[in-house]
A and B are shown apart, each in its own frame.
Chain A
């Protein structure tokens, strides 16, 4: 009896030590689910979801504070991917936050009109605008995410959003279509 109690207590103590050590040694920094959600978001950093960037929105989703349908740039594809990850129901995109556009846009500064006020540089979430005070500004096209956050601060309305030009390298083959179900068979098909 006594032996059993001592053995069990020793084992409990030992396991406790192992668990305690493991908790320190294998401690996970941050919330891994936030990283996974963040990886699925389009990283436009546009704030249309009402959170200041994709990561804050990912944190809000992980904490159950926000639904998964507030990201217009990601569109339905992102919602499906998030629902898949979190094992929740697929929702329709919440139209309050904006509409999904299929063609990606980038900002272009009309350099004739720009007065060099630096307000757009401060607004850009990915540092994609180059320039300094009273000098012309320009958008680094490769880095622009098309978030439109530079539009409201511009005092002279010199920034336009234009669709990215499609090149031969971006061109995609289209999926063929099977015969529409329900279409009747005719002798011409024979």
Chain B
């Protein structure tokens, strides 16, 4: 039995996991239309590779960008592209973003798979295949996996950590995936081991998922992975956070301003492992994912394997619709870190792990009024990042953003513990998010103004140089002219009077003629 460590703070939350676990994993049917946002990851925007009217096959790349931090989008099924336009997407702003719309033809015709010889592949080729499959971290952050692997490989990894924690209430998609696809999770882990060459591998699963632990342990006995251990950890929110899980399993803290691979650790979600397995073994890109639908206002909560781009409305219909009334508060993600959705038309994207259907609003969508802080310091007690939420709150509220950075605002993982325990109901996380976005906007403005300064100074220099060259040209011309005049003057000086000389020449010729005639 491994010695486990604790992170600071955290909370025990009611799990609400059983609601969605009473049913097995189901295959969601295809809707009539799929809406695929061009950007479903952290990083650069993809550019569409298809046109309206094109027919696409399942697994075909429809949008890509050669940038390093980017993940291409593939067609989840066959059909015809009917629009490339802005549609509402799953984003806290409720704004629209460019999506490719596929009219599903129902034939589900797949593009021809090219199966690589898995034994021959080296680490770089495997990362390349993962990159082409459009795989991103499926735990919720949606960071392109290939970029993370490339960085991890450069740094040298001591311990690989597979994250099967899933600590937020209601969400069970990783749990059900470990129960049904434990072998695939472990094969994916094996590929990660081949790429990263870690000395040991730890698979962390919360002890409120005994069935998943059983399935994974049984599969591990058959998988034959070296130096790999499944570790059951206590159920405390937010132990699924990367830095928190690292601390529980290894006792190490990721230092401020650094990332896990800076200290030789690499964390990957179980869903991502399955996606890697399918990409390498079946040449299947990331075109579907497991999504939990749960909450107190849905008739049949459960888990579905859903094609990316499926409108949430379709998924809600599969789950039997609302339990009460005709509307509900929809949240993408869990009740702690999720965000409210403005409409049920938004599509499922790579980051969508859960759709929470609630009778009452649980997450502040628009900033409402709240009571004053009474300095009870409960927020400090629960903060898993060991921050001082109260200080951050005061400085964010006063818009003293440089002060918030001194209190390590960017170490906040926005887990929502502080807001949850606040007796005044202050939406603390929203203050931090606002402060973060202001700071990022200021940084971008600074980059832009620095570039404008460089261009302005360059132009000034260029104009000055042009002026100097012009003056130099004039000076040379003037000098040449003076020289010419001076030379002409010399010639004139040698002949005393040109008119007289000409007259004399004429006179001499006349004289010669006269002498000839006489």
The residue from A143, A168, A176, A179 contacting B93, defined by CB atoms under 8 A apart: A168
Q: Which of B97, B369, B451 lies in contact with A177, CB distance below 8 A?
A: B369
Q: Closest approach, in angstroms, between the C-beta of A158 and any C-beta of chain B? A: 23
Is A43 engaged at the interface, CB distance under 8 Å to the other chain? yes
Q: In whole angstroms, how far apart are the Cα atoms of A43 and B447 in the complex?
A: 11
Q: Given A38-B453, A43-B449, A179–B438 Cβ distance below 8 Å?
A: no
B108 within 8 A of A: no
Complex: how many Å from CA A128 to CA B448?
Answer: 13
B47 located at the interface, meaning its Cβ lies under 8 Å from any Cβ of chain A in the complex: no
Q: How far is the CA of A42 from the CA of B447 in the complex (A)?
A: 11
Interface residue? A174 (CB, 8 A): yes
Chain B 433-465 against A: per-residue CB contact (8 Å), 1 yes, 0 no? 111111001000100111111011111100000
Contact digits for A3-44, partner B, Cβ 8 Å, 1 yes 0 no: 000000000000000000000000000000000001001111
Interface size of B by CB at 8 A reads: 41
Q: Is B368 an interface residue (CB 8 A)?
A: yes
B455 touches A168 (CB 8 A): no
Q: Provide the residues of chain A in CB contact with B448, threshold 8 Å.
A: 43, 145
B301 in contact (CB, < 8 A): no
| A174 adjacent to B434 (CB under 8 Å) | yes
- The smallest beta-carbon distance between A163 and chain B, in angstroms, is 15
Per the bound structure, the CA–CA distance linking A168 and B458 in Å amounts to: 33
Residues of A within 8 A of B441 (CB): 170, 172
**Complex contact B437–A176 (CB within 8 A):** no
The 8 Å CB contact of B455, one of A128, A167, A171, A175, is: A128
Kindly supply a per-residue 1/0 record for chain B positions 390-403, scoring 1 wherever the CB is within 8 Å of any chain A CB and 0 otherwise.
00000011010000
On whether A177 and B367 interact (CB within 8 A), knowing A126-B456, A143-B455, A168-B89, the answer reads yes
**Of all chain B residues, which has the CB nearest A122?**
B463
Residues of B within 8 Å of A172, CB to CB, are: 434, 437-438, 441
Write out, one digit per residue, whether chain A residues 31-69 have a CB within 8 A of any chain B CB (1) or not (0). 000000010011111000000011100000000000000
- Contact yes or no, B459 A126, CB < 8 A: yes
Q: Using Cβ atoms and an 8 Å threshold, which residues of chain B touch A170?
A: 441
A157 / chain B contacts, CB cutoff of 8 Å:
none
CA distance A166 to B499 in the complex (A): 84
In whole angstroms, what is the CA distance A125 to B457 when docked? 9
The contact of A176 among B372, B430, B449, B456, by CB within 8 Å, is B430
B456 touches A43 (CB 8 A): yes
Give, as a whole number of angstroms, the nearest-CB distance from B288 to chain A. 24
Complex Cα–Cα for A175 and B438 (A): 10
Asked if A87 lies at the interface with its beta carbon under 8 angstroms from chain B, I say no
A179 to B372, CA, bound (A): 7
B397 lies within 8 A of A127 (CB): no
In the complex, what distance in Å separates the CA atom of A171 from the CA atom of B399? 17
Closest A residue, CB atoms, query B463: A122
Are A45 and B452 CB-contacts (below 8 A) given A175-B434, A176-B431, A178-B397? yes
A interface SS class: loop
Residue pair B396, A175 in contact (C-beta under 8 Å): yes
Is B91 among interface residues, defined by CB-CB distance under 8 A? Answer: yes
Q: Which residues of B contact A43 (CB under 8 A)?
A: 448-450, 452-453, 456
Contacts of A175 in B (CB 8 A): 367, 396-397, 399, 430-431, 434-435
Chain A residues within an 8 Å CB radius of B93:
168, 171
Measured CB to CB, the nearest residue on chain A to B450 is A43
Residues of B within 8 A of A55 (CB): 453, 456-457
Which A residues lie within 8 Å of B438 (CB)? 172
Closest approach, in angstroms, between the C-beta of A172 and any C-beta of chain B?
Answer: 4
Contact A145 B452 (CB under 8 A): yes
Pick the contact of B430: A126, A128, A173, A180 (CB < 8 A): A173
How far is A176 from B367 in the complex, measured between Cα atoms in Å? 4
- CB closest residue in chain B, given A171: B93
Question: A178 near B372 (CB under 8 angstroms)?
Answer: yes
A57 to B67, CA, bound (A): 39
Chain B residue with Cβ nearest A124: B459
Bound: A45/B459 CA distance, A: 12
Please give the distance in Å from A47's CB to the nearest CB on chain B.
11
Q: How far, in Å, is B307 (CB) from chain A's closest CB? A: 23
A74 closest partner in B (C-beta)? B449
Interface residue B238 (Cβ < 8 Å from any Cβ of A): no
Cα–Cα distance between A157 and B421 once the two chains are bound (Å): 59
Is B370 engaged at the interface, CB distance under 8 Å to the other chain? yes
B257 within 8 A of partner (CB): no
A145-B450 Cα distance, complex, nearest whole Å: 11
B-contact 0/1 string along A152-190, CB 8 Å cutoff: 000000000000001110111111111110000000000
**Can you spell out 13 A-B residue pairs with CB atoms less than 8 angstroms apart?**
A41-B449, A42-B449, A143-B452, A168-B93, A171-B92, A171-B437, A172-B434, A175-B430, A176-B426, A177-B369, A178-B370, A178-B397, A179-B369
Residues of A within 8 A of B (CB): 38, 41-45, 53-55, 125-128, 143, 145, 166-168, 170-180
The 8 closest A-B pairs by CB, nearest first: A176-B367, A43-B449, A43-B452, A173-B433, A172-B437, A126-B455, A171-B93, A173-B434
